[in-house]
Structure 1
Amino acid sequence: MARVRGVHADASDEVAQLYAAACPRLIGLLTVVGGSRADAEEVAQEAFVKLLQRWSTVREYDDPEMWLRTVAVRMLVSRHRRHRVARLALPRLAGPDLEHADPGGTDDLIDLASAIARLPIDQRAVLVLHHLVDRPVDEVARVLKVPVGTVKSRLARARAALAPHLVDSEQLS
């Protein structure tokens, strides 16, 4: 394995082991939260770079993977916010013809992944961390650095937005 400048061999071996164990799970989590595997892979790599830079401190934590997951989710949320601001600004900069353009129709029948992908990133993050990663509300609040009440309200909004898409199979018969 090639050595990383500024990182001792033992540290790079430890990070390599964490990478091998945690990276597939992290990419899966970020893909569900962000909706894009390519973005998830980029953010995961950026999170591991931050981990390398802070390994002497993070290695002492009880759960370095939790630190990594926290950093990665925050980075993904920030990335989505920047992209959203850019998308909203583009039509205004382009002129009135594009400002009222429909970005695409909505289907009556959509699967759960697609419905989750349509949620705002803040709601998506709490929903995935709480329901799919099975983290308690207080831990989700710590990870996202928001109050517990904010997590609860985002969960409620996310559930309400998903409710129409979660049709009971008996209703389909």
Structure 2
Amino acid sequence: MRDAEEFDAFYAASAQRVLGHLSAMIGSRADAEDAVAEAYARAWDRWSTVRECDSPEAWVRRVAYRLAVSAWRKTVNRLRAHRREIAGQQVEASGVDHVAVVSALRRIPADQRRVVVLHHLVGLSVAEIAVEVDANANTVKTWLARGRRALAAHLTDDDDYQRTGGGNSHGA
């Protein structure tokens, strides 16, 4: 019973955060929902081991990410998402900034997107990211620097586009 209560508390404290992180990393909330649910199910199956990890949340996020990027898994998730009924569901309005950041994240390479999200949204250090993504710290630093530059360029392009009336810098 203690295991169930402990796991329930862990899930309640971390599930929405992990879902948000994974959604940002892979660019699809539907795919993230499926991968996160499966990752938590696997965490429950291995709870005696997972609870002993330095960060059970990082374990779940890493498993969810691996599930989400599997080509087969993506195909299944896309089919499920298209078949879902959306009648009666309320969708939260997203702010302009949120939409711009998510759009820009989708436009940068996956490795860069992943480390940018882990660093800036999750709050992990370069060393922690290196462990989570199984890469050396210098590689993470490179992806992070390139990701920031690419993200900034996409966000600046979008801002310039809106300021100039749809890309027309001559006002005509």
TM norm structure 2: 0.69
Partner of 1:103: none
Residues 149/62 of structure 1: CA separation in 2 closer, same or farther (3 Å cut) = closer
Instruction: Please provide the CA RMSD for this pair.
Output: 2.8
What letter is aligned with 1:121?
A
How far does residue 156 in structure 1 lie from its aligned partner after superposition? 2.1
User: Residues 13-36 of structure 1, C-alpha deviation per residue, up to 9 Å, x if partnerless?
Assistant: 222221111111111111111111
Counterparts of 1:1-173 in structure 2 under 5 Å? Answer: 9-76=1-68, 78-79=69-70, 111-167=100-156, 172=163
How far does residue 44 in structure 1 lie from its aligned partner after superposition? 0.6
TM norm structure 1: 0.69
- With 28-37 and 161-170 compared, the bigger mean Cα shift is at 161-170
What letter is aligned with 2:46?
R
Q: What residue ranges of structure 1 are gaps of 5+ in the alignment?
A: 1-8, 85-109
Q: Secondary structure at the match of 1:167?
A: helix
Q: What is the alpha-carbon distance in structure 1 between the residues aligned to residue 123 and residue 28 of structure 2?
A: 21
Q: What is the alpha-carbon distance in structure 2 between the residues aligned to residue 130 and residue 158 of structure 1?
A: 11
Q: Give the percent of matched residue pairs that are identical in Structure 1 and Structure 2.
A: 45
Residues 130/80 of structure 1: CA separation in 2 closer, same or farther (3 Å cut) = farther
Partner of 1:97: none
Q: What is the alpha-carbon distance in structure 2 between the residues aligned to residue 162 and residue 39 of structure 1?
A: 22
